[in-house]
Amino acid sequence: MSVHKALALHAEKQNRFYKEFLVLDQKRETYIEEAVTLCKQGIPFTTDKINEVTREMNRINLRIIPTRKYVTAEMVREYVTKLGNLPS
């Protein structure tokens, strides 16, 4: 296989990974928004879906993008508190 063909295949593979990463990133943001909304309303929530997607994103391991941190329920509560929207 020529060097040019090998580089083209590698670039194509990286592009597929990046596109998959972007889809997962959007899904993660949606799950975070859901958790924040539930927290604001005082409804019980978990971060399981967020962290499942985070695990998938980190597994892709794109070197140009840092790994995403796992989210805890306490992190969501702290964020909502900073917004001033935590129910009494």
Question: Residue 78 pLDDT > 80, yes or no?
Answer: yes
pLDDT for position 1: 65
Whole-angstrom distance, CA of residue 47 vs CA of residue 56: 14
As a whole number, mean pLDDT of residues 30-37 equals 98
pLDDT for position 72: 98
Question: Residue 69 pLDDT > 90, yes or no?
Answer: yes
Residues 6+ apart with CB under 8 A from 29: none
Question: Residue 85 pLDDT > 70, yes or no?
Answer: no
As a whole number, mean pLDDT of residues 61-86 equals 89
Whole-angstrom distance, CA of residue 13 vs CA of residue 79: 36
Whole-angstrom distance, CA of residue 34 vs CA of residue 50: 10
The distance of Cα 47 from the centroid of its chain, to the nearest Å, equals 11
Report the predicted TM-score, pTM, of the whole model to 2 decimal places: 0.82
